[in-house]
Each structure stands twice: as C-alpha cells, then as structure tokens.
Amino acid sequence: MGLNNSHIMPTYNRADLRFVRGDGAWLETDTGEKYLDFGSGIAVNTLGHAHPKLTAALTAQSEKLWHVSNLYEIPEQEKLATQLCDASFADLVFFNNSGAEAAEVMIKAMRKFHAVNGAPEKVTLIGFDGAFHGRTLAALAAAGNQAYLDGFGPAPQGFVQCAELSLAAVEKLIDDTTAGILIEPVQGEGGVRDVGTEFLRGLRSLCDKHGILLGLDEVQCGIGRTGKLFAHEWADITPDIMAIAKGIGGGFPLGAVLARQAVGAVMQPGSHGSTYGGNPLGCAVGSAVLDAVLADGFLAHVDQMAIYFRQDLARLLDDYGDIFEDLRGRGLMVGLKCKPQNQQLVAALRDEKFLSVGAGDNVLRLLPPLNVTQGEIDLAISALEAACEKLRAQNGGGK
C-alpha cells in the first residue's frame, strides 16, 4: 500500500512491513516472510507473540466481561493489585493504560503527597538528561527533551533536569521546593543507560535525608526485563512510588502506578481517574503475564539467556570494533552503541529478517521476549554478524 494516501497521522517513519501474525519470538508478514523479533513491540511482548497462556486468559475473560468502569469494584483489578503488591515494595496500585499515563500519575501523587502533608510548595521534580517518561506534556516536561516540547506551547512548570549521573550534582538541585526525584533505573529511549546500583542507593539516601520522594519509571526496565521483577531490586532499595506499563500487559495496553501506603493514600476520590484503567480484560491478561514471570525458574531463565547473549555480544564487539563501541544495559535490555548511524544497523538487520529498535545516543536496542531460547539468540548473533559484514563492505572498510 502506498503510504502517500494513508489516513494515519505521519508521527512515525514506518518500515515497509505489515505483520499479520506472530508466534513466540517470530513475526510473519502479509507475504508470508518470517522475522525474528528482538524489538518485542518495544519491550512489550514479555512472553513473545500469541503466548497460549495469555491468549487463554484474554479469551476466557472476553467471554465473561470486558469493561465495567471504576464506579464498581473489579475483582480482576483487586487480584492483579494484590499480586503486584505481594511481589514488590508497594501497598497500593492505580491502573491505567500506558506508560505516559503512569508517569503522569506518579508526578501528580509525588506533588500531592507534600500538599497533603502541609508542604504545598514542594512541587519540583528532579529528572535526568536522556530520560524518557512518555508523551504527555508533564511527562515531556519531566524529561526536558526540548526537541519533543518544541511547538507545543508552554510546558508545565516545576521540573528540572540533572545533566549528569552525579549525586553531588543532584543534591545541588534540591531546595525547599523539591518534591522528589524521578528516574529510570535503566534509561531506555535515551540509549539503554544503566544508572547503576550505587547511584540508585545514593538517590535513596538523598531522598531520605531531604524528606523528598523517590519515583522510579520502570515502564521499560520492569517486569523481568533485567532479570529481576523490577530493576531497582538489583540495588536493594525501594522507591516511594513507581510507574510500570509496557511488559505488564504483554501486548494488552496496561499501565500502573505502585506506591507505598503513605504516598498512594493521598490519591483520594476525585484526585485522579481513568475510564478504562484496570478494566477486567486488561487485568486478566496482566495477571497471566505476572503469573508467568513469577513462575519458578522464569527469571533465572532471563538471567541465563542474558549471560549467554552478552558473552556472544562481547565477542561481536571485539570482532566489529569499527561498528560497535559499547555494550550496555542490564539483563535482556541490551544496547549496542554504534559507530555508523544506528538506523543503518536497524535497516541492515531488517534485511536479515531480524527486528531491532533504535534508541538515543546512537544506540541499537535489542529487547527479545523474555522466554527467548538459546537457539534464537544464536540466530540473532548470526544476523548481527551478517549485517555488520554488509555494512563494513558498504563503507569500504575493514577493522
């Protein structure tokens, strides 16, 4: 189909590919070609495509009840909230439909907490350069990426960004108006940058010292992606509040904010809402995803696959030093900093029938489904080698 007569707003530069079905880590196009999918819809398809357990959960719920609104108690929502709280630091959960919405609620709750506790002047959120929290105006203001804000009028106030991952630099930004700190334990869109366990621990201490809140955006790095259910567990810290989305729905649009009691409890009736958020269909799927990720051996599998993949990738870096300069991320959230334009790599890999995703800072992102197999990782490495050889030949260079 010619894209020139598409009725879709041109917000995306789309590849000329139309997938019509999927199975595990594999996608099939309308012409029957198979692609190995290491993009997972950008860290969404936790269990790959068309996982039988998710299909069963969705189908069973769809035959009972899809949607009722939050004017009523929703048992499927209660169940998923209990599962999430049992498995995390959290006591209270608010459900919505996407990462940006979850970030937005996190921001609102962090401010409301201080307002309710007699410090309404504490409104400023400290974020970080290279962060991404989604595309609502507040989420964009929190990340402070000017390119995404240009043309959209006045940005919401009360956000500052720290230019470096330095505790001293963060502490300099803290003043009487600070409500809290907002950070992704592993930056996704910004270039798969792991901020490090020491840094997270330091932020926790700073928040405790200054009586401000630590809000984590685990929309991309959460739900098993790094080998723990949540990435902050590697640092042995707990946040006050956390946004999740992407992986929790396994492909069904689902987001959530998890908070400890005192923070979540400030969100009283009237303070926020969502028509679809936490509806039976989404929560039934979310429960099935979480059951699978928390099943015995699942996270150990993520760890093993990550170690296996990263060993091969380290060798790839040695062999193709003219193409890659750095291996980043944690677990199965993998970034390769590229020397040529990362989109050249994405395109060359697509020619090898292998799907990857670009990220900021000229990084190639590899986000396989978490139930990926060793055989599929071998195929991924072969595709990467083939793409590198072609790029090398094109660019007329050797090592």
The nearer residue to ligand PLP, 103 or 305, going by C-beta atoms, is 103
CB 258 within 8 A of CB 84: yes
**Between residue 150 and residue 179, which ones bind ligand PLP under the rule CB under 6 A?**
none
**Between residue 226 and residue 265, which ones bind ligand PLP under the rule CB under 6 A?**
245-246
Place of tokens 């810290």: 237
Among 85, 103, 105, 142, binds ligand PLP (CB under 6 A): 103
CB 327 within 8 A of CB 342: no
The nearer residue to ligand PLP, 127 or 227, going by C-beta atoms, is 127
Among 24, 41, 99, 368, binds ligand PLP (CB under 6 A): 99
For 43, the token pair is 């860290």
Residue 104 binds ligand PLP (CB under 6 A):
no
Report the Cα–Cα distance between both ends of the chain, in Å, rounded.
41
**Between residue 110 and residue 139, which ones bind ligand PLP under the rule CB under 6 A?**
132-134
Select from 24-32, 99-107, 157-165, 339-347 the region that touches ligand PLP (CB under 6 A).
99-107
The nearer residue to ligand PLP, 134 or 144, going by C-beta atoms, is 134
Q: How far is the CB of 245 from ligand PLP (least distance, A)?
A: 5
Q: In terms of DSSP H, where are the helices of the chain? A: 40-43, 52-64, 75-86, 99-116, 137-143, 146-149, 167-173, 197-210, 261-264, 280-294, 298-319, 342-351, 374-394
CB 35 within 8 A of CB 26: yes
Q: How far is the CB of 367 from ligand PLP (least distance, A)?
A: 10
Q: How far is the CB of 374 from ligand PLP (least distance, A)?
A: 27
Question: Do strands 178-183 and 124-128 pair parallel, antiparallel, or not at all (unpaired)?
Answer: parallel
The nearer residue to ligand PLP, 190 or 340, going by C-beta atoms, is 190
Under 8 Å CB-to-CB from 309, ≥6 apart: which residues? 332, 334, 366, 368, 377, 380
- Could you give the string, one character per residue 328-367, with x where binding to ligand PLP holds by CB under 6 A and - elsewhere? ----------------------------------------
CA dist., res. 172 & res. 44, Å (int): 36
The nearer residue to ligand PLP, 246 or 260, going by C-beta atoms, is 246
Q: How far is the CB of 251 from ligand PLP (least distance, A)?
A: 12
Q: How far is the CB of 233 from ligand PLP (least distance, A)?
A: 17
Among 77, 98, 178, 344, binds ligand PLP (CB under 6 A): 98
Among 217, 240, 352, 376, binds ligand PLP (CB under 6 A): 217
Nearest position to ligand PLP, beta carbon: 99
**Between residue 178 and residue 197, which ones bind ligand PLP under the rule CB under 6 A?**
184, 188-189
The nearer residue to ligand PLP, 220 or 287, going by C-beta atoms, is 220
SS3 breakdown of the chain: % helix, strand, coil, rounded to 5?
A: 40, 20, 40
Neighbours of 9 (CB within 10 A): 6
270: region left, alpha or beta (phi > 0 left; psi from -120 to 50 alpha): left
The nearer residue to ligand PLP, 137 or 262, going by C-beta atoms, is 137
Select from 48-56, 111-119, 212-220, 355-363 the region that touches ligand PLP (CB under 6 A).
212-220
The nearer residue to ligand PLP, 248 or 388, going by C-beta atoms, is 248
The nearer residue to ligand PLP, 104 or 376, going by C-beta atoms, is 104
For 315, the token pair is 């060798």
The residue among 394, 384, 376, 370 whose CA lies nearest residue 338 is 384
Question: Do strands 213-217 and 241-244 pair parallel, antiparallel, or not at all (unpaired)?
Answer: parallel
The nearer residue to ligand PLP, 254 or 391, going by C-beta atoms, is 254
The residue among 182, 174, 137 whose CA lies nearest residue 157 is 137
Q: How far is the CB of 257 from ligand PLP (least distance, A)?
A: 12
DSSP class per residue in 96-158: ESSHHHHHHHHHHHHHHHHHHTT-TT--EEEEETT----SSHHHHHHHT-HHHHTTS-SPPSS
By CB under 6 A, name the binding residues for ligand PLP. Answer: 98-100, 103, 132-134, 184, 188-189, 217, 219-220, 245-246
